[in-house]
Chains A and B, each alone.
Chain A
Amino acid sequence: MVSDKILAKLVVIVIIISAISVVTTLFDIDRLGSMMNVIMTVMGYDYTTTTTVCSAGITVTDDSIDFGSGYVWANATSAILDSSNSGVTNGSWKGVEDRITIENTGTCVMKVTVAMDSADAEAFLCGTGDCPNTATAKVEVEIDMVVGVACTSGLQNTYTTLADANGKNTVTLCGEMSYGSGNDQMLMSMRLTIPYDARTGSKSETLTFTGTAV
């Protein structure tokens, strides 16, 4: 026969296990640490002495810059494609006007930079073996549209070299990018210089946009 005391203990154990299950199900267990932090701070314990200044967020939108297909004119050494004004120089491309949108979605003023994954512009535009007869491949970027006062300092509003035939740079697009609706978006255009001896076929590249709280 099971006594009332044992039954009571079993009930308490079941309640504790249920409570733990509910807590770990409702909250990610990893967050318990930070929750404890908050609770202890509220209770007056000096667990950590930190001041949160802001949260940092960045969004890159706009699905594509589609330059399409084309070739360099026979009497030219390179063609230039400009996505800020659909300009095409010395090439058969149709020309496209398009931009990549960068948005500060946090509450920190941010420094925003962009960098390319490939070692240089030839690795991107010329393909395997680079361009054998030229050293003119180039990728340039600029911010040519700003919403409100999205950039209060250090705006890169003229084309600057992200990568050329010899190497690549990290380009600061804005030294101090604002946040808040109506003042938090910048649009980036690209200009490509494609040498006549670029290999035919598709081209792939990764651009990394980095936001640093300032």
Chain B
Amino acid sequence: MVNKKFALMLVFLVLSTSGTALTISPGKTELDYVPGKEYKIVFDVANRDGKPMDLVVNLSGDLANYANLSETRFFIDADGSHVVTAKLVMPTLDVPGEHSLGVRFAEVPTKKYGQTMITATVAIVARVITKIPYPYVYAEAKLETQKIKVGEIEYLRVELTSYGVNTIEQAGGYVDIIDKDGVEVARVPLTSARNILTKQKVNLLGEWDSTGSNAGIYKAIATVEYDGKNVTAAAAFQVGDILLNIIDLAPRTVPKDAISKLTAKVKSSWNDVIVGKVGLTIKDSTGKVVANLVSPTVEVKPWATADLEVYWDTTGLGIGSYDVEVVAYYNDKESRANFTASVTEAKEGEVKQVEVKDYFILVGLVLLLVILVLMVILALLIYRKRTKGG
């Protein structure tokens, strides 16, 4: 049997994360594969935080047994930096492909006894890699894209690197542009390249004209064919800017000494869901702020409009016009619009026109009233019965 007594216990949760920031340079290093050669990699560790940081360093990966560190724990002052050196003697490796050494710099959390908190700490794994050529033709591809405006050209660059012993005689391919719904909107041909030597990098280029396309996030998938094989690479890119337009505020006339619902209508110009809310700052004719109102957060579907509601209490405000600044907050961005609203004399029956959102409260009040009336009737009946009986 469940002991429900425990259910009344209070659980207090403050999940507190102090901001924390760490930078390691280099974050990724490529070494030539030369067995027996000693490499020295110097890591510059920067604490970009306003507080001191205690750090531990350790190694991982299949090259970890052939490496050592100049130190494994150190302290950095606020906004300070430190240098750690890793030495690696390249072993003889038989397996073709990528071999790596991971150098993990991890912040040691500061214990704060007696405080209710979740502390966020950061760690960065800097990678040192070497690649042993495959005993046949083999290539890896990397696709680069950039953010463009609607109507501009998206320049696509595929960096193809030969990691095979044999020379690649010919390489070429295409890039598929795919929209948010997974629909292919274009296939862009790439330039070709010939006679690619071991470890040589070549660029295969393509262009996509975004004229007529909607703003939003697109995916590009490059397929490169070389000497009977193929390799793919993917990247996402943004066309235009994410935008939530504020298109209306209604009503613009509200009664004095009442609580009125104001609805800000917003429209998405984006191909994905936007999560956002609006804030209203209402000022009187002298510029004095008389109300700051915030709506609940809502999800606005792609290209759709949505109504965001706030409630304005005009009790004590004078009759006249007020400046309303509406700010939409979404995805780390803001958009603004200004309106004028009027407070007018309340018509009969309009005063304290409270729009109760929770109808259960209304139902409860009505039920309470009915019960009270019934009790009064019952009391009267009992009284009359006793009076008659007497």
Q: Is the CB of B7 within 8 A of A76?
A: yes
B17 within 8 A of A: yes
Of chain A, the residue at the smallest CB distance from B333 is A147
Partner of A57, one of B6, B24, B109, B331: B24
Partner of A207, one of B17, B24, B235: B17
Q: How many A-B residue pairs lie within 8 Å, measured between CB atoms?
A: 265
Which residues of chain A have C-beta atoms less than 8 A from B384's C-beta?
none
A61 within 8 A of B: yes
Q: Is the CB of B2 within 8 A of A208?
A: no
Which residues of chain A have C-beta atoms less than 8 A from B236's C-beta?
149, 152
Q: Which of the candidate stretches B27-35, B356-364, B375-383 sits at the interface with the other chain?
A: B27-35
Q: How far is the CB of A196 from chain B (nearest CB, A)?
A: 4
- With A37-B42, A204-B118 in contact, is A133–B147 under 8 Å at CB? no
Q: Is the CB of A48 within 8 A of B9?
A: no
Q: Is the CB of A48 within 8 A of B30?
A: no
B95 within 8 A of A: no
Q: How far is the CB of B204 from chain A (nearest CB, A)?
A: 19
B194 within 8 A of A: no
Q: Which of the candidate stretches B120-128, B253-261, B342-350 sits at the interface with the other chain?
A: B120-128
- With A33-B42, A133-B2, A152-B234 in contact, is A212–B19 under 8 Å at CB? no
Tell me the complex Cα distance, A51–B33, Å.
12
A185 within 8 A of B: yes
Of chain A, the residue at the smallest CB distance from B107 is A208
Q: Is the CB of A208 within 8 A of B238?
A: no
Q: Is the CB of B17 within 8 A of A100?
A: yes
Q: How far is the CB of B369 from chain A (nearest CB, A)?
A: 28
- With A58-B122, A59-B48, A198-B11 in contact, is A208–B106 under 8 Å at CB? yes
Q: How far is the CB of A149 from chain B (nearest CB, A)?
A: 4
Which residues of chain B have C-beta atoms less than 8 A from A194's C-beta?
11, 13
- With A57-B24, A153-B234 in contact, is A81–B122 under 8 Å at CB? no
Q: Is the CB of B115 within 8 A of A200?
A: no
B275 within 8 A of A: yes
Which residues of chain B have C-beta atoms less than 8 A from A152's C-beta?
234-236
- Which of A30, A75, A100, A204 has the most chain B CB atoms closer than 10 A to its own CB? A204
Q: Is the CB of A209 within 8 A of B121?
A: yes
B8 within 8 A of A: yes
Q: Is the CB of A208 within 8 A of B122?
A: yes
Partner of A197, one of B3, B46, B234, B297: B3
Of chain B, the residue at the smallest CB distance from A182 is B147
Partner of B17, one of A64, A97, A125: A64
B319 within 8 A of A: no
Q: Is the CB of A56 within 8 A of B123?
A: no
Q: Report how many residues on chain A are interfacial, defined by Cβ distance under 8 Å.
A: 84
Q: Is the CB of B20 within 8 A of A59?
A: yes
A74 within 8 A of B: yes
B117 within 8 A of A: yes
Of chain B, the residue at the smallest CB distance from A153 is B234
Q: Report how many residues on chain B are interfacial, defined by Cβ distance under 8 Å.
A: 75
Q: Is the CB of B39 within 8 A of A77?
A: no
Which residues of chain A have C-beta atoms less than 8 A from B23's C-beta?
55-58, 105-106
Q: Is the CB of A77 within 8 A of B2?
A: yes
Partner of A117, one of B14, B37, B109: B109
Q: How far is the CB of B388 from chain A (nearest CB, A)?
A: 47
Q: Is the CB of B12 within 8 A of A68?
A: yes
Partner of B30, one of A31, A50, A108, A192: A50
B132 within 8 A of A: no
B73 within 8 A of A: no
- Which of B30, B114, B332 has the most chain A CB atoms closer than 10 A to its own CB? B332
A63 within 8 A of B: yes
Q: Is the CB of A198 within 8 A of B16?
A: no
Partner of B8, one of A33, A74, A110, A208: A74
A183 within 8 A of B: yes
Which residues of chain A have C-beta atoms less than 8 A from B40's C-beta?
33, 37, 47-48
A6 within 8 A of B: no
A4 within 8 A of B: no
Tell me the complex Cα distance, A133–B2, Å.
7
A140 within 8 A of B: no
Tell me the complex Cα distance, A195–B12, Å.
13
Q: Is the CB of A74 within 8 A of B122?
A: no
Which residues of chain B have C-beta atoms less than 8 A from A206's C-beta?
109, 118-121
Q: Is the CB of A60 within 8 A of B122?
A: yes
Q: Is the CB of A144 within 8 A of B275?
A: yes
Besides A202-B13, A213-B28, 5 other A-B contacts (C-beta < 8 A): A49-B31, A49-B37, A51-B30, A54-B26, A56-B28
Q: A residues touching B (Cβ–Cβ < 8 Å)?
A: 28, 30-31, 33-34, 37, 47-77, 81, 83, 85, 93, 97, 100, 105-108, 110, 117, 125, 133, 144-149, 152-153, 182-183, 185, 190, 192, 194, 196-214
Which 7 A-B pairs have CB atoms at the shortest separation, nearest pair first?
A56-B27, A202-B116, A57-B23, A55-B25, A59-B21, A65-B15, A67-B13
Q: List 17 A-B contacts (CB under 8 A).
A: A30-B82, A51-B29, A52-B26, A53-B30, A55-B24, A63-B18, A66-B13, A67-B15, A74-B7, A106-B27, A197-B6, A200-B10, A205-B117, A205-B118, A206-B109, A208-B109, A212-B124
